[in-house]
Homo-oligomer: A and B are copies of this chain.
Amino acid sequence: MDKKGVSIAVIRRMPRYYRYLSELEKDGIGKISSKELADRMGLTASQVRQDFNCFGGFGQQGYGYNISLLKAKISEILGLDRGYTGVIVGVGHLGHALIMNFNFEERGVKIIAAFDIQKSLIGQSINGVEVFDTAGLESFVKGNNVDIVVLTLPRAAVRETAKNMAEAGVRGIWNFTSVDLGSIKDSTVVENVHFSDSIMTLSYLITK
């Protein structure tokens, strides 16, 4: 599949399509037109068709999309079928919340370990995920070809950890800290969840 030239705006809509299609599938709906899908998502039918055309298009004019097929296709585009593995670094409140509540497997990622420096946490099993000493993080990541590292650790240690993880061959960093990692290594992608930017945007939007 050719991914070159697909804009980040289109890319960021793909997970939304995936979510909506999953809901439709759960509701037992088998087929949907670009117009209906667009209406539900607050887009236009032409935008939906254009988005899908970036990946070759998946529909038949005038027939509508088969939801299961479309969902499977988008799942493949998103790489949800690749069997990625991940580890969580930092088992504070947020790391703990992710391990307990977030359904990683539904998004194609298997969390195979967690790491912390806190002695009281090491050796514990949280929702089936064992917590190891951060001292062993690098060798674990190398030895297990870990694809994704989730950073939920305190600011001070973030930059060095990210750099080490990139050196160790990790392909993606899911960064929940407020540290901007920029581009650390060409072969490692950083995706940020910036709570702080999000609430400041909300503040802007409610301010007259």
* CB of A63 within 8 Å of the partner chain: no
Q: How many copies does the complex hold?
A: 2
Which residues from B are CB-within-8-Å of A12?
A: 197, 201
**Closest residue on chain B to residue A77 by CB atoms:** B204
Q: Is the interface of A mostly helix, strand, loop or mixed?
A: helix
A135: Cβ under 8 A from any B Cβ: no
In the complex, are the beta carbons of B193 and A193 less than 8 A apart? yes
Q: Please report the total number of A residues contacting B with Cβ < 8 Å.
A: 56
Residues of A with Cβ closer than 8 Å to B?
11-12, 14-16, 18-20, 42, 77-80, 82, 84, 92-94, 96-98, 100-102, 104, 106-109, 147-148, 171-172, 174, 178, 180, 182-183, 189, 191-207
